[in-house]
Structure 1
Amino acid sequence: MSDSIDSNDSPDLPDPVAGEGANHPKARIRSFVVRAGRMGTGQIKALAELGPTFVLPFKPEAMDYAATFGRQAPVVFEIGFGMGGPTAQIAQTLPDVDFIGCEVHEPGVGALLKLIGEQDIPNIRIFQHDAVEVLDAMIPKGSLAGVHIYFPDPWHKKRHNKRRLVQPPFVAKLVQHLAPGGYLHLATDWEPYAQQMLEVLAADPDLTNTSTRADGYADKPEYRPLTKFEHRGLKLGHGVWDLVFKRKA
């Protein structure tokens, strides 16, 4: 999860390099942008002590959820959990659901592991790997009860919009991994991205919008906690948009 920042803070990046451009023959979807980050002592300790148990190795074979979690339960896949605070809260709010989180940034992985240890949260596992590759290689199609994508990088500048994660090919990929009736829950605090998300999800023939509101957006589900950035933004009058769509049966 990557909370939005002011557009002036968005890096003025060059066009994608060979192999990464949306129209390049070797292009592939990526779920992340590499950024530097510092590790605290608590995060380092959590990685060393809890990483072997809760961080799963990436390998090109389908996961056995029951073997991974030691039980049969619905599985929700989260893409980009940031520093992991909301992920930990949701897992505690929904103890009968198992959560798989993907985050490439080591400080975030360490932070979530620290919370897992401090709060004794058993129903989370982590991949420190690109979520798209994990989906393709390890998540069985039609197996997920839900997918969470909260506050992905909005790529504010128009020429960078093509870098946004929520695009038709990626949504189609997610839908393939949802079980019939499984849900896709997105949230953003950047209205132009919310509009794009709504257009993309509404155009997918295998999804149906759960919202009954005229604007198509969903009320924030009770299980999703407010982030500190949301609290700050709401006090300043900024909006937050949730979208919840389900795969058709």
Structure 2
Amino acid sequence: MQATETVRDPAVAGLFYPDDPAALRRAVQALMADATGPAAGRSLPKALIAPHAGYRYSGPVAASAYAALGNASDRIQRVVLLGPSHRVPFRGIAATGAGAYRTPLGTIAVDRPALASIRELPGVVTLDLAHGPEHSLEVHLPFLQLLLGNFNLVPLVVGDAGPEQVAAVLERLWGGPETLIVVSSDLSHYHDYRTAQTLDAETCRAIEAMQDESLTPERACGCRPLAGLLRAARAHRLTVHTLDLRNSGDTAGPRSEVVGYGAWTIQ
């Protein structure tokens, strides 16, 4: 990272996850210790789908996704991370002008050549305003730092973008086994527990069937990056595997109004 490049500092450290490095490391280690690892003989996933709420709520489900990586630190060198924009409305897919993302566990270099390679694709813009307050990418980084050690990051915040735009970006960045794709999405929001279970089960079946046209913001807040990933995965003849499906009523919250979470691999 050059000295003149900016660093995107954490926005939700101390809110969604601990801001003390030692406490954060312990929190992620505890979540991973409770998660189930990959089945014997299962190959390394090309992509993960995981939630992005505060760790006490969605952390156990996110850990279910990251456990599927097993001991992959010697193979994964780059992570393409996509999540929805919660605070800044815009059209397209936002790259960053920053040279690194920082968490309490340290800095992660942004893959500038990778971002340059997608700059001319439809819908791609450089918009640091979308990255600054956004938690949907940030909360995944401590998991990735603990599991992978050193890696390069391609952070993309997805606004109002069609699945064909997202799929085109992913195809350009697809790479080989050195590249992992992570899509950040929660599921239904603020229904009662039983209603959420029904809705999220329907969404899970749509994801498993790669029916990207069935995904709406009411079913998954990350429906746009998720739809693009499913479209790209179909083109590569990959398969979705469900690892976990719960909601905040199962982890740390009341059951009167819950948020749904799921974890999937694509391989």
Structure ranking higher on relative contact order (CA contacts 8 Å, 6+ apart): 2
Q: Which one has the bigger strand percentage?
A: 2
Judge same fold: TM > 0.5, yes or no. no
Q: TM-score, normalized by length of structure 2? A: 0.32
